[in-house]
Chain A
Amino acid sequence: MSEHTPAAIIEEPEFHLPKHHWPLPELSLVEAPHRHPDLLTFADVQRSPEYQKLRHSFTSFAFPTVIAVLVWYFLYVVLSVFAEGFMSIPVLGHLNLGMVIGLLQFPTTWFATWLYVQRADKVFDPMAAELRIKIENEVTK
């Protein structure tokens, strides 16, 4: 079971998938993917600089982006509701400014999605995996 699991395998995100999703046959020997650490371990980790760095890199990215997305959305709503004349300015054929801003909400939302996935896959996941291994190895000591 878990003590036979090399750390390199736990690090793989696929480790947390059920057996039939696992690409690596040797992983199918693993039954319990997670060990349960105690509360003091979590408190120690929360104070550690590695964790603080992860937390900071998440919040300093996620909160401003969410605020920007909401500002962009409410700009569309408020202008549509209270500035009908401005939003009716023709832009492209029968498309007026309001329609264009409304349609632009779709690509911008998809862009924000892409931005998050990039950041999460490349920055948050490796940092989180390192901490997770540290926490879960703590238990077996």
Chain B
Amino acid sequence: MIALETATGNPLINIGIFGAFVIFTLLVVIRVTRQSEKKAGAFYTGGASFSGRQNGLAITGDYLSAAAFLGVTGAIAVYGYDGLLYSVGFFIAILLALYLVAEPLRNTGKYTMADVLSFRMMQKPVRTAAALSTLTVSLVYLLAQMAGAGGLVALLLGVKDPFWQAVVIAGVGLIMMVYVLIGGMKGTTWVQMIKAVMLIAGGAAMSFWVMSGHGFNLSDLLGSAAAVHPKGDAILRPMLQYGANGWISKLSFFSLAIALVAGPSGLPHVLMRFYTVPSAREARRSAVWAIILIGVFFLFTLILGFGAAELVGVDNILAAPGKANSAAPLLALHLGGEVLMGVISGVAFATILAVVAGLTITASASFAHDFYNSVIKSGKADPAQEVKVARITAVVIGLLAIVGGILANGQNVAFLVSLAFGVAASANLPSILMTMYWKRFNTRGSVWSIYTGLASAVLLIIFSPAVVAGPLAIFPLTNPTIVSLPLAFIAGIVGTLTSKEPADALLQAEMEVRSMTGAGAEGAVAH
């Protein structure tokens, strides 16, 4: 068993490997972005020039955030079954994106989620609503990632002093801004791809290592983990985590399960990935690669989680600075010593960095393209000016992320992730589905659906035990989706049926035929 003093491995090795990753990726970013990024298409979507396989790797990178890697491994180590339950919903979500969203989105939009939502509607009201919900989801998700960075610093670099933790958070934010400003979407996509390869390779190596100790018999691994776990066989059965407070926590999890499966098809930074490929067929291939890789990775986390429970021990994990999040790095330390832990820590840092960069570019594209160009300049802004606004927005968002990350450092921010998925599932997904698959859906329906989903998800989580305590917590569940998702659908239907302006039949025909055939869709930008 590992003594606590050495629970962080060797901080110098951790910093060194992370530094090498930063330098290597910066060189790649500079190399792939030799041409000017003044064109909006180049900055937002890398000129739509990635192949399906490349983009599939990048989606995997965006998808497997630190919460998915460290969080799920930790949840499986501590709670067993319930950690798997969490990862399955998140995994199946991409299948929905493949079936219903990816190709129509690629064929009808250009840069942002709002392109699709406003395609056949009145531009200004729908774009404003879609931009607001994009910014909300992206900023909340960003804050959750940055707050997690603080805990990771404490764990991996052995930095206990809050001031130096703040310095490291600021450093992560600054490096991220450099990626986004120099590389735009092209550079960011390359960072995602490199990180995804590292993450999967690291996960595969450690899983192989753990399984080789059990003759590649999963049942044997589960049995050995349960034998040393303080909760014993309960980790092999459901509801150790989500059944802790009876019916309320069970219903909360059921609501979270809806958000996990519906949310990712409404996460703007995942949707924007489908614009970085030149055709619907490549969008399909990206989703397929992502489904394969993410599925394999979640199976790795199952092995790593139970492996950590067996080899490191739950008491040691929970006593470490990052609590459950430290399960994966501590397992690496146990298996391969300080060097392997340094690699896994570097991967974890790279994960935060890459996801934060993807979120920043999505939020700044939405602000510049949907709000500045379409709403303020009525769609007539000069593209170079629009990209300039996007770059300034990226700096502002980067600074907000740094300040937010420092303020949220050490706080329990689990509700932020819950909120981001809840808003994505309620404000974005219903309006996307109704825009694509319901002919009569019109401007009022879209605007009502987005605002209802957004407001109900935000309000329900504020007045829940996840944020406030005591009598103020009117809504008992910690996740709002079970209520806010149906509300958004109802608002969209009621808004559509009560509106005096019917849907634009010609635009609806164009959108539907384009989404099915790709005729007239945006292709790759000629270089």
Whether the pair B261, A106 counts as a contact (CB closer than 8 A) is no
Contact partners of A125 in chain B: CB under 8 A: 281
Whether the pair A95, B218 counts as a contact (CB closer than 8 A) is yes
Contact partners of A128 in chain B: CB under 8 A: 516-518
Say which size band chain A's interface belongs to. Answer: 35 or more
Q: How far is the CA of A73 from the CA of B27 in the complex (A)?
A: 43
Q: How far is the CA of A47 from the CA of B243 in the complex (A)?
A: 53
Whether the pair B220, A17 counts as a contact (CB closer than 8 A) is no
Whether the pair B284, A117 counts as a contact (CB closer than 8 A) is yes
Q: How far is the CB of B400 from chain A (nearest CB, A)?
A: 35
Say which size band chain B's interface belongs to. Answer: 35 or more
Say which residue of B47, B254, B512, B519 sits within 8 Å of A77 (CB atoms). B254
Whether the pair B81, A80 counts as a contact (CB closer than 8 A) is yes
Say which residue of B239, B295, B521 sits within 8 Å of A109 (CB atoms). B295
Q: How far is the CA of A125 from the CA of B279 in the complex (A)?
A: 12
Say which residue of B98, B100, B243, B520 sits within 8 Å of A36 (CB atoms). B520
Whether the pair B510, A106 counts as a contact (CB closer than 8 A) is no
Whether the pair B81, A43 counts as a contact (CB closer than 8 A) is no
Contact partners of B519 in chain A: CB under 8 A: 34, 37, 42, 131-132, 135-136
Spell out B's residues near A (CB within 8 Å): 47-49, 51, 81, 84-85, 88-89, 91-92, 95-96, 98-100, 103, 217-220, 222-223, 226, 236-239, 242-243, 250, 253-254, 257, 261, 278-279, 281-282, 284, 287-288, 291-292, 295, 298-299, 437, 505-507, 509-510, 512-514, 516-524, 526-527
Say which residue of A42, A62, A70, A77 sits within 8 Å of B513 (CB atoms). A42
Chain A: which residue is nearest B520 at the CB level?
A36
Q: How far is the CB of A4 from chain B (nearest CB, A)?
A: 16
Whether the pair B85, A93 counts as a contact (CB closer than 8 A) is no
Q: How far is the CB of B46 from chain A (nearest CB, A)?
A: 10
Whether the pair A132, B517 counts as a contact (CB closer than 8 A) is yes
Interface string of A51-95 (1 = CB under 8 A from B): 100110011001001100110011011101110100110001111
Whether the pair A80, B239 counts as a contact (CB closer than 8 A) is yes
Interface string of A38-54 (1 = CB under 8 A from B): 01101101100001001
Chain B: which residue is nearest A78 at the CB level?
B254
7 A-B residue pairs with CB within 8 Å? A42-B509, A94-B226, A94-B236, A95-B219, A98-B237, A113-B291, A132-B517
Contact partners of B526 in chain A: CB under 8 A: 19, 31-32
Whether the pair A81, B279 counts as a contact (CB closer than 8 A) is no
Whether the pair B512, A80 counts as a contact (CB closer than 8 A) is no
Contact partners of B527 in chain A: CB under 8 A: 18-19
Whether the pair A69, B95 counts as a contact (CB closer than 8 A) is yes
Whether the pair A66, B99 counts as a contact (CB closer than 8 A) is yes
Contact partners of B284 in chain A: CB under 8 A: 116-117, 120
Whether the pair B88, A102 counts as a contact (CB closer than 8 A) is yes
Chain B: which residue is nearest A51 at the CB level?
B513
Whether the pair A94, B222 counts as a contact (CB closer than 8 A) is yes
Contact partners of B91 in chain A: CB under 8 A: 105-106, 109
Q: How far is the CA of A110 from the CA of B94 in the complex (A)?
A: 11
Chain B: which residue is nearest A136 at the CB level?
B519
| Given known contacts A13-B281, A99-B222, A109-B95, A76 and B254 CB-to-CB distance under 8 angstroms | no
Whether the pair A112, B243 counts as a contact (CB closer than 8 A) is no
